[in-house]
Amino acid sequence: MAISFFLVIVAKMGSSEQITSALQSWAAAKFGADARVEQLKRLSGGASQETWAFAVQTAGGTRPMILRRAPGGESKARSSEAIGLGMEAQLLSKAADAGVPVPPVLGVSEAGSALGQAFIMDRISGETIGRKILRDEEFDKARSLLAAQCGRALAGIHSIPADSLPDLPVSDGMSQLTKYEAIYRNFDLPRPVFELAIAWLKAHAPEPQPLVLVHGDFRLGNLMVDEHGLASILDWELAHVGDPREDIAWICVNSWRFGQSEHRVGGFGDLRDLLDAYAQAGGPQFRPQDIDWWEMLGSLKWGIMCMIMYEAFRSGADPSVERAAIGRRVSETEIDLINLLEGARTHA
């Protein structure tokens, strides 16, 4: 889930009875009068939406599901980046049509209804915790398949016609660099390593690629993995129209390798395997070095995101020890940037 391990969300008491009752009406209409909603439970995580787990019990058995719902059932003015729930449900349907592994959407409800603005999807079982996927024996086989599966899935996402999704934000590499540089400057906490990375990225901007639909947060943590590999791609809140190399590089950013630095793709795979599968599935044939610029941009972005989270502490908006501590993770991205800059200089 998007930066979920840093988020602590406390469920609003009193709303769960109301949600159960709204879900009960929906389930009875969809699955028959004997359908019963059970085990409603608020899950942590999700940057801007509520996520609930529940199950529908019928004579045929129990079916686990997920409810994604606008906070309090009402759509707020959206944050600068996160897309709305209606768009997220549309994206999931289009991704499924393109053969991308995503949870099937079972129902959509509008603002003003009993459930509020929300959608319901099947709950896919599997593991999302990066360290478990990288270390547990039960994922041995999955790890060997995952790079190619990610390549095929990304080719599928990038093949979805973006003009069928007119409300998506558009953001390419240079506009992201400009945006994050402005955020960083606004904090007035100068960091020479960031300055050097920003200058290097500006001086080495790659030739633009045709813009496509990108997931925007494609990395371990947002991938549901089972013993056969990639089971489902979650958290589409940061989807936008952008450069396909952004998605390929984000899962390569060292922060998302969870300690297994030697495997460039997510700490589990070889980038060539991902790129070959991507090309075989219809995407452009990229070389590993085509991803370098985007990986550096990714490390810089994550570093500035950590500063944003620390800013919530510094401003007093969130005085928790956890928000304070995240400010001391910025140096992780600085060492990654140094390692990447050294590599870039060696190869120049």
Percent helix, strand and coil across the chain, each to the nearest 5: 50, 15, 35
Task: Tell whether residue 55 is a contact of other proteins (CB under 8 A).
Answer: no
124 binds other proteins (CB under 8 A): no
Shortest Å, Cβ 195 to other proteins: 4
Q: How far apart are CA 143 and CA 225, in angstroms?
A: 9
What does DSSP assign to residue 222? S
d(CA 196, CA 300): 11
Between 261 and 315, name the residue whose CB sits nearer to other proteins.
Answer: 261
- At residue 109, the 3 state secondary structure works out as strand
Looking at the DSSP bridge assignments, the partners of residue 212 are: 242
Cα 174 to Cα 202: distance, rounded to the nearest angstrom: 8
Residue among 2, 100, 193, 241 that touches other proteins (CB under 8 A): 193
Taking the complex as a whole, the smallest distance from the CB of residue 268 to other proteins amounts, in Å, to: 14
72 binds other proteins (CB under 8 A): no
Residue 324 as a binder of other proteins (CB under 8 A): the answer is yes
Nearer to other proteins, 110 or 342 (CB): 342
Cα distances (Å, whole numbers) of residue 207 to 31, 93, 158, 300, 341: 51, 32, 18, 20, 19
By CB under 8 A, tell whether 178 contacts other proteins: no
Closer of 27 and 337 to other proteins (Cβ): 337
- Binding to other proteins by residue 29, rule CB under 8 A? no
335 binds other proteins (CB under 8 A): yes
167 vs 188, beta carbon nearer other proteins: 188
Site for other proteins in 235-294 (CB under 8 A): 254, 257, 259-261
Q: Which residue has the tokens 């009752």?
A: 21
In the complex with other proteins, the residue whose CB is nearer, 143 or 191, is 191
DSSP assignment of 153-189: HHHHHHHS-GGG-TTS-B--HHHHHHHHHHHHHHHT-
Distance of CA 156 to the CA centre of its chain: 16
Using CB under 8 A as the binding rule, whether residue 339 contacts other proteins is answered as yes
Chain positions contacting other proteins, by CB under 8 A: 8, 10, 190-193, 195-196, 198-200, 203, 254, 257, 259-261, 320-322, 324-325, 328-329, 331-332, 334-336, 338-339, 341-342, 344-345
